[in-house]
Amino acid sequence: MKINANEIRVGMLLEYKDDLWQVLKTQHVKPGKGGAFAQVEMKSVNKNTKLNERFRSSETIEKASVEETNFNYLYDDENNYFFMDPKSFEQIEIKKDIVGEKGKLLTENLEVSVSFYNEKPISIDLPNQVNCKIDSTDAALKGQTVSSSYKPAILDNGLSIQVPPFIEAGDEVVVDTRNLEYIKKI
């Protein structure tokens, strides 16, 4: 699907120079002299390289058609994560390097959204919030003010986050998957 350069938004997937690019930043510039253009910073989905490109607003660019499907997480091995379609019970595997650091937040039967491009999985989106258990945390120091003092804690999946002083080992907490921040205690 062709779109004009001034319709490019952050997060879009574009087909450009025989590759698939995710838009990281976009800035629309209208200089006093000459035509308006869009300055776009993109990252290659396949090669992990970045590209800064300038498109005139009259240019058209191919927007990639991405199909999103919900899957339930099953298990993992040393190279892959395995997911199942809850409707057809079909199983797929996605390489650990595609999922990245988000993989540590996966729990059994967690529903995720998988993005496919040409029937090949390119990324997964977790729910915005997941429940985690605190494995260990430092003791709170007496006399600290609550507003400014967060302490480090290690979750049962190995990730470390900052939590308020009243959280102790064994507590269940809600974590934001987008920025790995503590939200609340359960």
Q: Assess whether pLDDT exceeds 60 at residue 146.
A: no
pLDDT of 56 strictly over 80? yes
Tokens 């480090």, residue located? 152
- Of the chain, the end-to-end C-alpha distance in Å amounts to 45
Q: What percent of the chain has pLDDT over 70?
A: 95
Say what the pLDDT of residue 71 is. Answer: 94
Local confidence band at 39 (pLDDT 50, 70, 90 cut-offs): very high
Contacts of 55 (CB under 8 A, 6+ apart): 5, 8, 37, 38, 40, 61
Q: Check residue 48 and give its pLDDT.
A: 79
- Residue 46 confidence (pLDDT): 78
pLDDT of 67-106, one tens digit each?
A: 889 999 999 998 999 999 999 999 999 988 888 778 888 8
- Assign 147 a pLDDT band (cuts: 50, 70, 90): low
Tally of helices (H runs) and strands (E runs) in the chain = 1, 16
β-pair partners for 72: 84, 111
Burial 11-27 (b: 16+ CB within 10 A, else e): ebbbebeeebbbbeebe
